[in-house]
C-alpha cells in the first residue's frame, strides 16, 4: 500500500493493504526492525503497537517530497514515530 524511506539515520517502512494492515520498519540503517501486526487507519495515516507494546505511528501526506540525498522525487512525505523517536522522509503509494 505505502513504502516510505528516510535518511540520517536511514530507515524504511512498508504498510500493506486492508482494514488492519501489517506495518514493517527497519530503523537506524537496518540495526532495528519493528513490526505492527495490525495497524489501524487514521485520517493522517496509521497507528498501532508492536508485540512488546511500543507505540508506532505513520503519517503520510500527499505532497512533493525529496529525500535530500538521491534527488529522487516522491509524491508523498512520511513521518514515522516509534516510541518517542521521529523519523522524517518521503514515500509513495504503491497502488498508484
Burial class (CB in 10 A: 0-12, 13-18, 19+), 95: exposed
- The pLDDT, as a whole number, for residue 76 is 97
Does residue 63 surpass a pLDDT of 80?
Answer: yes
- The pLDDT, as a whole number, for residue 59 is 97
Give the CA count within 13 Å in the CB-facing half-sphere of 36.
Answer: 26
Q: What percent of the chain has pLDDT over 90?
A: 83
Q: Which three cell numbers stand for residue 77?
A: 512525505
- The pLDDT, as a whole number, for residue 42 is 94
Q: Which three cell numbers stand for residue 46?
A: 496509521
Mean of pLDDT values over 11-25: 95
pTM for this entry:
0.92
- The pLDDT, as a whole number, for residue 67 is 75
Amino acid at each position: 500500500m505505502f513504502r516510505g524511506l528516510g535518511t540520517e539515520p536511514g530507515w524504511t517502512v512498508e504498510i500493506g493493504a486492508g482494514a488492519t494492515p501489517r506495518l514493517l520498519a527497519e530503523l537506524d540503517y537496518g540495526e532495528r526492525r519493528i513490526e505492527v501486526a495490525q495497524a489501524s487507519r487514521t485520517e493522517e495515516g496509521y497507528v498501532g503497537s508492536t508485540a512488546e507494546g511500543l507505540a508506532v505511528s505513520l503519517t503520510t501526506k500527499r505532497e512533493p517530497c525529496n529525500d535530500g540525498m538521491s534527488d529522487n522525487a516522491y509524491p508523498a512525505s512520511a513521518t514515522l514515530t516509534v516510541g518517542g523517536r521521529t523519523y522524517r522522509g518521503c514515500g509513495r503509494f504503491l497502488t498508484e
